[in-house]
Structure 1
Amino acid sequence: MARIGFVGLGNMGGPMAANLVKAGHEVVGYDLNPEAAQMVKGSSVRIVDDVRSVAEGANAVVSMLPSGPLVLEVWAAVLPVLPAGSLIIDSSTIDVASARRAHEMAGSFGVLSLDAPVSGGTEGAQAGTLTFMAGGTEEAFATAKPLLAAMGRRIIHCGDQGAGQIAKLCNNMILGISMIGVSEAFLLAERLGLDRQALFDVASTSSGQCYALTTHCPVPGPVPTSAANRDYTPGFAASLMAKDLRLAQESARACGCNTPLGMAAAELYQSFERQGGHAKDYAAIIRFLDTRDTRAAAGASVAS
């Protein structure tokens, strides 16, 4: 059994911390938002009211936070408390530069570090079936793997420091582009009179098959567990997709990589977020696309 500090107890971090408790670890948690801390009440995560306290006597600290600057702020607070040779893991999705800076900070204190963002959404966090994409040294990965296994099903060492974040941003760029393509196909099929179940039955077993279709189908019916059947209550919020696509584009610009579809997806999700979609599931982009098409058609009619 290890003593683990966990910073960030929201929709993802809370269930992850609870799964560490289920695996037999002692977990001390902190969140700046008292309401988030209350989410893990009853899971035997011990809540403290100071971020440094999570690191006192800990073998490892895990952070799950919304931005790179906040990760750096938290690591700056807890690293001086952690003993040399201990472990710190960041499972947030942040920019690559911040992730690499966090590793540098950990190294200056003699602490092993890993950037290990996740895929699988809130469902995966609750079920302990997340995929971890890890970046860091072989030693850090080997040390972290048993802890990550308590929270996830697949744990992939992607390479050196920052590689986990690179893998996450590239993966979610694929997902965002795919969801837009799937949504457009269903809208076109509907306009042409094709039943949505018929399209799903064809596409899910042929060349159109993809995760956005078969797991998060953006229309109600074909996939009962999809957020489309819950009025798009988020499993993976559109605001988070917009953030990930923005980070991917920042990285693409920094290295001079041309990603026109990634750029278009980022712009669409950012527009959707600004127009009220931030609290909906990312699959709800289909509503935005449908409304946008309706507006465009109305505009064309007026112009004619």
Structure 2
Amino acid sequence: MTTTLAFIGLGHMGGPMAANLVRAGHRVLGHDLVESCLAAAVESGVERAGSAAEAAAMADVVITMLPAGRHVLSLYGPEGLLAAARPGTLFVDCSTIDVADSRAAHTAAEAAGHRSLDAPVSGGVVGAEAGTLTFMAGGEEAAFAEAEPLLTVMGKKAVHCGAAGAGQAAKICNNMILGVSMIAVSEAFVLAESLGLSDQALFDVASAASGQCWALTVNCPVPGPVPGSPANRDYRPGFAAPLMAKDLGLAANAVRAGGVDAELGLRAAELYARFAEGSGADQDFSGIVRAIRAASTTADAEKGATP
């Protein structure tokens, strides 16, 4: 069935997601503050809306894909999307934001007479373009059932994780695993290099042994073993390091608020924050192997200089 959708936020992730909805036969009204993003979406069949509120006013479902919680809450404010939309509109927020902000967005939508779902994604730009994202959703079961056909157009899997905010909780837990594992895989490759073991040899062993993980077999941080990984494209982002730093920062906030003993998660947040603010600002998150290698070289040089 064709649905009229408003899609707010047409950047690296939102643009391809909206394009997949158009290809599936839906009418998509789009808006983005960045003209180049909006223009690219229009080329893929998205209809240009004069404002986010204008798009929401004509839509059956409003999808948002925004950088941070403050952007979502601002658009959900008294003069924004919730006021413009028809009563009972379904709001699906695919942004990755703080759990508390997500729950506040749910509360605002409900108070305005709408239904809502938080549905952050995993899979990066490659997954958005290919329509193979995984959605982690939080909200009422009925809202998830209505949104699921749209989510499965944009992705290969949609999981209802529980009540409001549960999708965000699942996302930050998943990405804490991913961040820690990418650091571990990167450290292992740097160690292997120092021991004279080739990247391919380590990959051939670990990918078929207990070291196997997504960070190794899909997003391998060194060139060669996995031709499709960003390492073979000079670490051009699939999932950018600043986004990983953001997600790990959200996880770290939740760790501290919950009193959880998560030493590796907190350390990963520190390492990615430093990497994203420096050389990793425009790199894929797997590029952290470069920072580990550079720090290891510096440490070796300092050790050799000690009398």
- Which bracket does the TM-score occupy, shorter chain normalised? over 0.9
Task: Judge conservation of contact 1:10–1:39 (CA < 8 Å) in 2.
Answer: no
Count of aligned residue pairs for this structure pair:
304
- 1:68-91 residue CA offsets vs partner (Å, 9 max, x unmatched): 000111122101111222200000
Does 1:160 pair with 2:163? Answer: yes
Task: Judge conservation of contact 2:135–2:159 (CA < 8 Å) in 1.
Answer: yes
Distance 2:277 2:46 in 1: 36
Superposed counterparts of 1:113-128, under 5 Å: 113-128=116-131
Report what 1:294 is aligned to. Answer: 297
Q: Which amino acid aligns with 1:63?
A: T
Distance 2:119 2:35 in 1: 25
Report what 2:222 is aligned to. Answer: 219
- 1:24-54 residue CA offsets vs partner (Å, 9 max, x unmatched): 1100000011121122132110112312111
- 1:146-203 residue CA offsets vs partner (Å, 9 max, x unmatched): 1111101100000000000000000000000000000011111111011111110110
| TM-score (structure 1 length as normaliser) | 0.98
Superposed counterparts of 1:162-177, under 5 Å: 162-177=165-180
Q: What displacement does 1:134 show?
A: 0.2
Q: Which amino acid aligns with 1:211?
A: W
Report what 1:70 is aligned to. Answer: 71
Task: Judge conservation of contact 2:30–2:47 (CA < 8 Å) in 1.
Answer: yes
Match of 2:247 among 244, 249, 256: 244
Does 1:96 pair with 2:99? Answer: yes
Does 1:24 pair with 2:25? Answer: yes
Distance 2:59 2:302 in 1: 61
Does 1:197 pair with 2:200? Answer: yes
Distance 1:68 1:299 in 2: 43
Q: What displacement does 1:303 show?
A: 4.0
Q: What displacement does 1:122 show?
A: 0.6
Superposed counterparts of 1:260-271, under 5 Å: 260-271=263-274
Distance 2:108 2:75 in 1: 11
Q: Which amino acid aligns with 2:84?
A: V
SS of match in other structure, 1:182: helix
Distance 1:225 1:75 in 2: 38
Does 1:285 pair with 2:288? Answer: yes
Report what 1:228 is aligned to. Answer: 231
Q: Percent identity, please.
A: 55
Task: Judge conservation of contact 2:53–2:85 (CA < 8 Å) in 1.
Answer: no
Q: Which moved more, 1:76-85 or 1:202-211?
A: 76-85
Q: Which 5+ residue runs of structure 2 have no aligned equivalent?
A: none
Q: What displacement does 1:296 show?
A: 2.0
Q: What displacement does 1:96 show?
A: 0.6
Report what 1:60 is aligned to. Answer: 61
